[in-house]
């Protein structure tokens, strides 16, 4: 089937490449000519495991262009995967979605299905359909369907090729049949609903996972006070199949392009309709506070960071991606810099993006070991395999004073036994053989 995909970010590009891998003829559209040229050469503009390889394998079925007219005019299905960034009030900004809808209305020459894959507020598909029909003036039939994505950055290719479920929201049989044909080769359960249910499934799913993360972080903070161990607690919880073990890893909060934006958008939507989802509101508040927990911990050992060498291991919001959106490092590092610290940082893929966000005041290192050399304190913000592989003795041997603030609980209990170290993690007892505070 001939398919066009608007947008080549995490959603659009992964969708396009995976559809090509299933035999469809896919044209990916973007406004950035440099980005298009990069993809034409077989190089992915984003870091995502397996994506570059899958692109290379399916280049004969992939076209990359800035010419939206040629892409849309005879496509059977047009997927819209552009960004819906957060506005200041927390609502979703739909200007890119409407910009694509306008281009589609000006370009299509045949009956087609426009599929909104971007995460959009409930009712957006209805409004996009009305917009398209008005612009087309009855010139030809056009259909709009909702097909939310459930991919996670770092595992996006796997999450698309081996999806937990495929949700399609339609209001007519033509759209449903065509989308069933698109996904015929995918081995995943397919749920067909109306459009508004599909839109809500996306928000309800993401916000529930955000709730789990904020909840377990609150429990972890309490564990530190009462002397319980969060990892024992979550293991005990996980045996209950109603709870499970996923999204119960205590840390310094969620980030990325989905959870922060989607929780705020759903909270805004409820408020707009004279309702309040108190649980979502609490999750947002807890997550923002949790990002600063490493600073609060560190202040127990140093009243300020002036003239200290601070090692930072990990910059991205999670391993497996170069994405920094809503990363705790973007909240914490400016505080440390403002306090007068000298920061040395390591991240295997996030350095270039971080330089764009915070261009000054940071020395970037080639290895974790180089980062730790002569450091007065170490912050761990991302649980990269390269961080987890650091030997306990390495911290002691390289750091001027081995004080480690681990925001991701990278090391198991007993890892630092017998060493002269201070190891402070989330929801677990502090390992302190240095025996000093406010050094």
Are residues 105 and 233 both part of a single domain? no
Residue 365 structure tokens = 């290192």
Are residues 145 and 65 both part of a single domain? yes
First to last CA, the chain: 66
pLDDT for the residue 282: 96
Are residues 92 and 131 both part of a single domain? yes
Count the neighbouring beta carbons within 10 Å of the beta carbon of residue 34: 8
Q: Which of 28, 258, 365, 378 is catalytic?
A: 258
Encode pLDDT of 327-385 as tens digits: 999 999 999 999 999 999 999 999 999 999 999 999 999 999 999 999 999 999 999 99
Q: Would you say 336 and 362 are in contact if contact means Cβ atoms under 8 Å apart?
A: no
DSSP three-state, residue 396: helix
CA distance 17 to 21: 6
Mean pLDDT value across residues 184-209 = 96
Task: Judge whether 377 lies within some domain.
Answer: yes
| Domain end call among 290, 324, 340 | 290
Are residues 282 and 302 both part of a single domain? no
Are residues 327 and 256 both part of a single domain? no
CA 346-352-356 angle, 5° bins = 115
Are residues 181 and 306 both part of a single domain? no
Per-residue pLDDT for 436 more than 90? Answer: no
Are residues 321 and 369 both part of a single domain? yes
pLDDT over 90, % of the chain:
92
| Domain end call among 246, 267, 290 | 290
Task: Judge whether 437 lies within some domain.
Answer: no
Are residues 174 and 231 both part of a single domain? no
| Domain end call among 152, 171, 193 | 193
In total, the chain counts a number of residues equal to: 439
CA distance 233 to 241: 15
The number of domains in the chain is: 3
Q: Of 49, 45, 8, 21, which Cα lies nearest the Cα of 157?
A: 49
Per-residue pLDDT for 237 more than 90? Answer: yes
User: For residue 226, what is the domain's CATH number?
Assistant: 1.10.1040.10
Q: Helices in 22-63 by DSSP H: which ranges?
A: 33-40, 51-57
- The string of DSSP codes covering 228-283 is --HHHHHHHHHTSTTT-STT---SS---SSSHHHHHHHHHHHHHHTT---HHHHHH
CA distance 368 to 247: 27
User: For residue 404, what is the domain's CATH number?
Assistant: 3.40.50.720
Are residues 236 and 369 both part of a single domain? no
Q: Of 404, 255, 254, 232, which Cα lies nearest the Cα of 323?
A: 255
pLDDT for the residue 437: 60
Encode pLDDT of 146-182 as tens digits: 999 999 888 999 999 999 999 999 999 999 999 999 9
Task: Judge whether 439 lies within some domain.
Answer: no
Helix, strand and coil content of the chain, in percent to the nearest 5, comes to 40, 15, 45
Task: Judge whether 235 lies within some domain.
Answer: yes
Residue 40 structure tokens = 């034409």
CA distance 66 to 61: 17
- How high does pLDDT run on average in the chain? 95
Q: Helices in 58-144 by DSSP H: which ranges?
A: 68-72, 95-107, 124-136
Residue 144 structure tokens = 């709009």
DSSP three-state, residue 191: strand
- The pTM assigned to this predicted structure is 0.91
Q: Would you say 230 and 427 are in contact if contact means Cβ atoms under 8 Å apart?
A: yes
Domain of residue 273, residue span: 202-290
Task: Judge whether 153 lies within some domain.
Answer: yes
Residues 6+ apart with CB under 8 A from 397: none
Task: Please say if 258 is a catalytic residue.
Answer: yes
Rounded alpha-carbon distances, angstroms, from residue 190 to 70, 94, 186, 193, 200: 31, 27, 9, 10, 16
Q: Of 408, 372, 407, which Cα lies nearest the Cα of 390?
A: 372
What is the DSSP secondary structure assignment for residue 278, as one 8-state letter? H
CA distance 367 to 311: 11
Residue 334 structure tokens = 């400016």
Task: Judge whether 174 lies within some domain.
Answer: yes
What is the DSSP secondary structure assignment for residue 70, as one 8-state letter? H
Are residues 269 and 301 both part of a single domain? no
Task: Judge whether 438 lies within some domain.
Answer: no
Are residues 98 and 151 both part of a single domain? yes
DSSP three-state, residue 1: coil
Encode pLDDT of 314-326 as tens digits: 999 999 999 999 9
Q: Of 5, 3, 61, which Cα lies nearest the Cα of 30?
A: 5
pLDDT for the residue 170: 98
Number of separate helices (H) and strands (E) present in the chain: 18, 15
Per-residue pLDDT for 92 more than 60? Answer: yes
pLDDT for the residue 438: 57
């Amino acid at each position: 089937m001939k398919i066009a995909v608007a947008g080549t970010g995490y959603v659009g590009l992964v969708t396009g490449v995976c559809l090509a891998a299933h035999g469809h003829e896919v044209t990916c559209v973007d406004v950035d000519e440099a980005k298009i040229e990069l993809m034409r050469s077989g190089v992915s503009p984003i870091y995502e495991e397996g994506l570059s390889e899958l692109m290379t394998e399916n280049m004969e079925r992939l076209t990359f262009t800035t010419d939206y007219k040629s892409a849309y005019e005879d496509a059977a299905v047009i997927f819209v995967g552009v960004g819906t960034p957060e506005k200041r009030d927390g609502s979703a900004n739909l200007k890119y979605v409407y910009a694509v809808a306008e281009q589609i209305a000006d370009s299509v020459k045949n009956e087609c299905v426009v599929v909104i894959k971007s995460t959009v507020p409930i009712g957006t598909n209805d409004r996009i359909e009305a917009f398209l029909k008005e612009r087309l003036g009855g010139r030809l039939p056009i259909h709009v369907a909702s097909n939310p994505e459930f991919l996670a950055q770092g595992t996006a290719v796997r999450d698309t090729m081996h999806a937990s479920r495929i949700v399609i929201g339609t209001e007519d049989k033509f759209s449903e049949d065509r989308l069933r044909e698109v996904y015929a080769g995918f081995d995943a359960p397919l749920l067909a609903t109306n459009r508004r249910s599909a839109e809500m499934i996306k928000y309800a799913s993401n916000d529930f996972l955000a709730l789990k993360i904020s909840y377990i972080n609150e429990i972890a903070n309490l564990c530190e006070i009462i002397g319980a161990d969060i990892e024992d607690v979550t293991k005990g919880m996980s045996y209950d199949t109603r709870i499970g073990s996923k999204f119960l890893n205590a840390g310094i909060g969620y980030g990325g392009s989905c959870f922060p934006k989607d929780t705020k958008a759903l909270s805004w939507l409820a408020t707009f309709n004279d309702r309040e989802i108190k649980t979502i509101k609490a999750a947002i508040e807890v997550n923002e506070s949790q990002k600063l927990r490493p600073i609060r911990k560190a202040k127990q050992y140093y009243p300020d960071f002036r003239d200290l060498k601070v090692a930072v291991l990990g910059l991205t919001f999670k391993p497996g991606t170069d994405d920094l959106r809503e990363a705790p490092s973007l909240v914490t590092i400016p505080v440390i810099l403002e306090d007068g610290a000298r920061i040395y940082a390591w991240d295997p893929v996030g350095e270039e993006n971080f330089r764009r966000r915070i261009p000054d005041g940071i020395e970037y290192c080639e290895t974790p070991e180089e980062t730790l050399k002569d450091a007065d304190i170490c912050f761990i913000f991302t649980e990269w395999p390269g961080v987890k592989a650091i030997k306990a003795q390495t911290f002691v041997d390289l750091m001027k004073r081995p004080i480690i603030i681990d925001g991701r609980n990278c090391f198991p209990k007993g890892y630092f036994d017998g060493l002269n170290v201070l190891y402070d993690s989330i929801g677990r007892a502090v390992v302190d053989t240095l025996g000093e505070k406010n050094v």
